[in-house]
Every structure is written in structure tokens, then in C-alpha cells.
A and B are shown apart, each in its own frame.
Chain A
Amino acid sequence: MHKSIEALVARLPLDFRVLYRQFLLRVIDLEALSIQADVVGFLGQFAGVLIMLSIIHAFRIYLFLGVETWPIEQYLIATMMLVAGLIVVISWDATFPDRRDAMVLSPLPVAPHTILFAKIAASCAVLGLSILALNVFSGLVCPLLLGAQHGTTLGRIQSFAAYWFTMAAASAFLYCSVLTAQGLTALLLPRRLFLRLSAILQLAAFGLFLGVYFVQGTIATPAATADPANQRLLAWSPSFWFFALFNQLNGSLPPQFSWLASRAWAGLGTVAVGATLALILCYVRTMKKTVEEPDLVPGAGGSHWAPNLGPPLQTALVLFSFRSLTRSRQHRVLLAFYFSVVFAIALSLLRTVLSAPAPILLSPDFYIPTLMMMSFAVFGLRSVFSLPISLTANWVLRTTQLCSSERYVAATRRTLLFLGVAPVWLVAALLSLSFRPFHHVVAHLALLALYGWILSELGLIGFHKVPFTCSYLPGKSNIQLVFWGFLVVLLVVVMSIAEFEQRALHDPILFVSMSSAFAAMASGLWAFNRHQAKSAVIYFEEVPDITIQTLGLQRD
């Protein structure tokens, strides 16, 4: 098997193989990884997270499939679409020719279609591996149990084929949708405008995928599916189309819902044609346009926004962080992941506020989401700090390092408070306007602010760095451990705080004790970090000088 694959690969043209390998590594932007990172290891860890999720799904299917089939099927398809959507967003520009490709490959005797096929092959390889990792266990258990309901071997095989085809089709639908949208904007707009709009589209897609996943409900029974009140949701939500497609292929779809499966087929066909046309036209037209139109945007209409955010050093570093977060693709995407969770929680809270008659009684249903929002915002921001923006440009921060390390750590703290804690607190304050009693709302907001301060100080322990100048995640740490560890610890901590807060809000002495404990913990951590920073040396990671650059062509 392995030999026949190797023989098949060897028959592919050499230029395709070389480009495919290059593009495969560039689907994940190498500049975003630590200089000590092992790319293969990183991809392995990422696959590990998905495999772990697959094991959890498999257990869930085993326990509940006999009781209720439809919600689990919907959940699996929606989760597959979410993961595929996140991968498509992370590898946003990977399929289209960029300026680097145009400048490097145009003078070489490489046909545009070879570049196109190599790029598609690289993106599909990453997407395919993700589908495989996410379904490696659930993709066996679910079809086997569903097939058992058919009672025949043929039924099992049919379920198995239906499951894997649906997962691949749902992922392909998202991939092709994004390609179509990108291709059309690239074709219709001037390159400079496209570059700006592409960044906004990327964030919008991220928010859309996560928002839809968290906000859209499930429709558990055939009766609920037939309910006229749900028809609008069914008609516009692709996860329900592919859910119907799965059941159609599995032979278990009631005839009255075949229109949903038809939508899946039609949608898939439309975006496949759209993506093919967009890609061909882009490679024919945009490669030339990319070289002809410089990325430099004339600055006649620009302006320089420079608010005073404290002492000059702190202002400089807060603005540097803000600009890095808003202008760098990798940073935006990673932050968008965390902030989309914040956004999704805020949306679901807003839905509660709008649907319930005012005033609403304050309860853990409000404490838990706001505490979760704060946690995701601060830890998300702190983890994005570890994604370098340009290691080679760090020299300027080193040659202008004229203040004590304590002041650099203070600037990082201010960045966390300004860009992480303050926005979430403001959103929570706005949402809390519908909740009563008012003094409980004020008390919760005070505790939330202290909680945000504590999280910021926790994030600063051992962080003697300027944001975006060093790398830790991803690449060096064990993502598998950090991801699951963070989720488990966070859930336990937030639930405990919410439970305690519920009692404290009805007992003034308990509330004073709780807020004093929070304030003491925050001040203690602040004093600890300040003390540590005094003797710390601000660390900057730099790319070592390369003596010999290998091209890695020895395999060919």
C-alpha cells in the first residue's frame, strides 16, 4: 500500500511536488510559530486535540444514540462544519496567489495551473486530515450504531459511507463558499481594496461560523422539524441541509424533508462551480494584477491616531499591541477565536435579555457567562501576546530599551486591562441594565472587575516580555494539555465562583469577605509581579543568523 502510494506520488510532476510541500507548510504561517517550534509536532498536537474530541463524541454517541438520534447527528455535522470553517479561516489566503508567489514564481518556468493545483492539494490535505482526525472514532461508532438499526451488513456499510461522505461534503461546502466569496471580491475590487476587505471578510467569517454554532439551536424530533416556526431556521442553516443529506444517503430521511437534502446538493454544486470559476479567473487575471498593483496605499487621506494612554512607554506599547492585533492576519485570527466565544456568550445573553420580560432577576445564569467572557478575553489576549509580529524587527525595542523592566511589565499589564478586561466589563455592564436588583448588579460588576484584574496578574506571572516580541504558543507548548486543562480548570473555577457569589449577594458579610479576598488576591499578585519585574531582564526572541540555508530538495 505504502509502496503503491509512493509510486503514485513519484509519477506526479516534480514542480508540483516541490510546490505542494512548500504550500503545505505555508497553510500554517511559519512566522507565527516559535523559532524553536517543531512544525510537524505542532500539527500532530493540533490533530491530537481533534482526536480527543472524536473520542468524546464517540462516548456521547454510544451513551445517547439509542435514546435520541437526530440531535447527535446534527451536533456532529455542525461541529464538523465549525472545525472546517475555522481551518478555512485560518488558512484564509492559502489557495489564492499572493504577491510573494507572483514575484517568486512568475519568472520561473512554472505553469499557473501547477501552482493552482499545488495550492488546492495543500489546502485539501490539511482539511482532509482534520476531517479524519475529528471523525476517527466517532466516524466508526456512529455509522456502526446507526447501521445496526438497519439490521444488515449492507445497512452498516451504507451508514458508514453516508457519514463520511456527508462530513466531507459539509467541509467542502464551507471551503468552496469561502473560496467563491474571496475569488469574487478579488476579481471585482482593486487589489488594495481587496486586501483591506479580505481582512474584514476573514473576521466576519470567523464570527459567523462561531456565532451560528453557538446560537443556533437543535431540532430534536421529526415533529419539531415539521413545525412551521422552525422552517426559516431549516431553510437558511447549512448544517440542517447536510443533516438531511446524511439521512437521505442513510435511507432514514422522512420524505417531507427531502427539500432540505436538495438544498445541500444545490448548495454544494453552486459553491463548487463558483469556487472553480473564481480560482481559474484569479490565476489567469489576478497573478498579473498582483505584480502590477503595488500594495502601497497612498497616504493622502490617512490620519495618525495617537491618544495619550499614560506615560510615553505605556502609550507606545498599548498602541503597538492594538495595531498588531488589528492589522496582523495571524493575530486577528487567533484573537478572533477567543473573542468569538466571548461574542457568542454575549449574543446568547442578549437573546435571554430580549426574550425575557424585564426586569430579570440576577442569577448564576448571568454570573457564569460574564465570568466566562472575562476569562476567554484575558487568556485569549494573553496567549495572542505570545505570537510574534516580526522577530527581525525586535532590535528597535532593544536599542531603545531605556526604562526599567518594571515599567515594561506595567505597560503589558495596561495592555491587558485596556484591550481585554475593559471591553468585556463594558459589555457586561450594558447587558446587566435589564437585570435587578440593582445593588446586586453593581456588586457583581465590582467582582467581575476584580476577577479581570486577578486574571491579568495571573497572565503576567513570569511574562517579562513585550507583547508580540517572543513566541511560546504555538509550537513549543503542549497544546493538547493546555487546551483541555484550561477548559476543565476554567469550568470548575467559574462554577465555584458563581455558586459562592450567589450566596454572597444575599449575605452582606459574605460579600464583603468575598470581595476583600478578591481584592487581596489581586493586590498580592500585583505586588508579586512588580517585585519579580524589578530584577527581571526583558527577554526578546530573535532569529539566529543562518549560516547555511538548505532547500530540502534531497527527497527529489
Chain B
Amino acid sequence: MLELRHVTKRFSSIPAVDDVSFTARPGEVTGYLGPNGSGKSTTMKMITGLIEATLGHIFFEGKPIQDDLIAFKRRMGYVPEEPYLYNHLSAVEYLTMVAQLRDLPARQSSDCIEGMLQSLSLHDDRHASISGYSKGMRQKVLIAAALMHNPDLILLDEPFSGLDVGTALVLRSLIQELAARGKVVLFSSHELDTVERVCSHVVILHRGKVVADDSIERLRSLMELPTLEAIFSQLAVEQDTESMARQIADLIHA
């Protein structure tokens, strides 16, 4: 179980994440939603240990992750928001490097990499430099790198970004399958339809604060709204979207 207790992150005294608390349980996919700049990726980075929280604590299976960050990292897989990779390496070189850094047995990791590349339709381009990959191909490399060590905690920050329809459908099913096998999955996305299909539990963030933390079913009945999109619009979208669109159209016709 992943638990965040009163986690705050300030950049030059400006809070990016403000007193966030929630729990992500094994066996379920937790959706982490919010508009741009609401603090989703900052929270993800704090959980991975890439940045430190200003206040609060993060627990995994009841233990603060900072107590043994190395042991925690062994059990965590992370797909970041931006597909930043070492572009001078090929997919197979990159994945082999990650496997070696994770100290995975050579034979096992080699078979796993081969299988992943086949499944993600990257096998034909496995020796090509990542610099020539499309955004979707890079995303596939990130997904393979995050999963090949069989992590117990999976952090997915916009994992569908750039993926083709077929791979997106595979990934959607994969996320559900991994959760069914007892993994803790924290999944951040702007695609509310996908979140509604995949997640059983959502946390909605607005201006760094948690404004909703419940199952989608309960949120629907509590707020008497039919869809997650309607719930999200009510909780996290401030402006009148139609008048904003008109304003932009007027601006370019001025």
C-alpha cells in the first residue's frame, strides 16, 4: 500500500503540492487527476525520490520510503510524463543498461527485453537510435523499462501519451491485469474516459490540493453527476470553457 500523509512541496515558498494525503491500495488502480500545473507530476516525482517533499511523509507498505530509498526503488517502476531518454542509445541498449543498473540476471533480462520489444512492436527497430523514434515509440521504451523488473508499485504519469490505438488498448488492459495481480498502480492522465474505464478509485487535485478522493461510483452518486468528466469539470475547471473558446476566436480575428 502506498500512502501519502500531509505531503507539501514548495518551490521558492510557492506551494506546488499542498498538504496532499491519499492512499493507493494493492489490487486497485488509483487515478490521479488534475489540470495542468495542479501538482500531479510533482507528487509523482516525490514518490520516486527524484525530489524531496518540503513537509509530510510517504509510506510504502507502512514504512517511510526515505528510510531505505534503495530498497524502495527496487520495487518501483516509473513512467515519467516526458519521454526523456538517452537518445544516442538504441532501445535494446537502453533497456539492457536499465536491467544492468537494476542488477537483474543477464539471461532473464535479455529474454524479458526481447519479449517486451516484440509485444510492443519495437522489435524491428530495436537496434535503431532512440533519437529517431517517434513519441509513441519512446513511450513504449519507457513502459518496458518501468515494468521489466516486475515492480510492486507502478507509477504511470501520462502513460498513453503518443501511443497508437492498438498499444493504448493493450496498455489499458495491462494496467488492469497488473492491478489484479496485486500491484499498487498510481495512474495520472488527462484522458478521463480511460481513467473512468481503468480506475476504481480517483484522487483529484486542484491548485496543489486534493479536492476529491473516493471511488468513481461514490463520487457519481454523491455529486449526482453522470460522468467523471462532469465531476472533474465541477471540481477542477474554473473557467467557462465555451466563453474562453469564443474569446480566443475573437482574439485571432481582431
Chain A contact residues, CB within 8 Å of chain B: 294-304, 306, 308, 312-313, 315-316, 319-320, 323-324, 327-328, 389-390, 392-393, 395-403, 545
The reply to whether the CB of B218 lies closer than 8 angstroms to some CB of chain A is no
With a cutoff of 8 Å between Cβ atoms, the chain A residues found around residue B76 in the complex are 399
Are A395 and B103 in contact, CB atoms less than 8 angstroms apart?
Answer: no
Q: Which of B56-64, B89-97, B161-169, B174-182 contacts A (4 or more CB under 8 A)?
A: B89-97
Q: Chain B binding site: helix, strand, loop or mixed by DSSP?
A: mixed
How many Å lie between the Cα of A295 and that of B129 in the bound state? Answer: 9
Size bin of chain B's contact surface? 35 or more
Are B85 and A396 in contact, CB atoms less than 8 angstroms apart?
Answer: yes
Report which of B102, B128, B133 forms a contact with A400, defined as CB distance below 8 A.
Answer: B102
How many Å lie between the Cα of A72 and that of B2 in the bound state? Answer: 74
- Most A-side CB within 10 Å, residue of B74, B88, B127: B88
Report which of A295, A300, A327, A398 forms a contact with B132, defined as CB distance below 8 A.
Answer: A295
With a cutoff of 8 Å between Cβ atoms, the chain B residues found around residue A313 in the complex are 100-101, 103
Q: List 16 A-B contacts (CB under 8 A).
A: A297-B128, A299-B128, A304-B92, A304-B126, A312-B101, A316-B96, A316-B101, A320-B97, A393-B86, A398-B49, A399-B50, A400-B98, A401-B73, A401-B101, A402-B74, A403-B70
Report which of B80, B93, B102 forms a contact with A402, defined as CB distance below 8 A.
Answer: B102
How many Å lie between the Cα of A312 and that of B50 in the bound state? Answer: 23
How many Å lie between the Cα of A300 and that of B125 in the bound state? Answer: 7
Given contact pairs A304-B93, A313-B100, A395-B80, A400 touches B73 in the complex (Cβ within 8 A): yes
The reply to whether the CB of B21 lies closer than 8 angstroms to some CB of chain A is no
With a cutoff of 8 Å between Cβ atoms, the chain B residues found around residue A399 in the complex are 48-50, 73, 76, 78
Given contact pairs A296-B132, A316-B101, A324-B88, A304 touches B96 in the complex (Cβ within 8 A): yes
Which 6 residue pairs spanning A and B have beta carbons closest together? Answer: A302-B127, A296-B132, A299-B127, A316-B100, A312-B100, A400-B101
How many Å lie between the Cα of A155 and that of B49 in the bound state? Answer: 72
Are A297 and B129 in contact, CB atoms less than 8 angstroms apart?
Answer: yes
Given contact pairs A316-B100, A399-B76, A400-B73, A390 touches B87 in the complex (Cβ within 8 A): yes
With a cutoff of 8 Å between Cβ atoms, the chain B residues found around residue A308 in the complex are 106
Nearest CB of chain B from residue A506's CB, rounded to whole Å: 49
Are A299 and B73 in contact, CB atoms less than 8 angstroms apart?
Answer: no
How many Å lie between the Cα of A395 and that of B73 in the bound state? Answer: 12
Which residue on B lies nearest to A297, using beta carbons? Answer: B128
Are B73 and A402 in contact, CB atoms less than 8 angstroms apart?
Answer: yes
Q: Chain A binding site: helix, strand, loop or mixed by DSSP?
A: loop
How many Å lie between the Cα of A301 and that of B85 in the bound state? Answer: 23
Are A390 and B128 in contact, CB atoms less than 8 angstroms apart?
Answer: no
Given contact pairs A302-B90, A393-B84, A399-B78, A316 touches B97 in the complex (Cβ within 8 A): yes
With a cutoff of 8 Å between Cβ atoms, the chain B residues found around residue A297 in the complex are 128-129, 132
How many Å lie between the Cα of A304 and that of B87 in the bound state? Answer: 16
Are B88 and A327 in contact, CB atoms less than 8 angstroms apart?
Answer: yes
With a cutoff of 8 Å between Cβ atoms, the chain B residues found around residue A320 in the complex are 86, 89, 97
The reply to whether the CB of B145 lies closer than 8 angstroms to some CB of chain A is yes
Are A303 and B127 in contact, CB atoms less than 8 angstroms apart?
Answer: yes
Which residue on B lies nearest to A545, using beta carbons? Answer: B11
Are A298 and B101 in contact, CB atoms less than 8 angstroms apart?
Answer: no
Given contact pairs A389-B86, A395-B50, A399-B49, A304 touches B100 in the complex (Cβ within 8 A): no
Which residue on A lies nearest to B131, using beta carbons? Answer: A295
With a cutoff of 8 Å between Cβ atoms, the chain A residues found around residue B88 in the complex are 323-324, 327-328, 389
Are A398 and B86 in contact, CB atoms less than 8 angstroms apart?
Answer: no
How many Å lie between the Cα of A320 and that of B113 in the bound state? Answer: 18
With a cutoff of 8 Å between Cβ atoms, the chain A residues found around residue B102 in the complex are 400, 402
Which residue on B lies nearest to A543, using beta carbons? Answer: B84
Nearest CB of chain B from residue A132's CB, rounded to whole Å: 35
Are A402 and B101 in contact, CB atoms less than 8 angstroms apart?
Answer: yes
The reply to whether the CB of B191 lies closer than 8 angstroms to some CB of chain A is no
Are A299 and B100 in contact, CB atoms less than 8 angstroms apart?
Answer: no
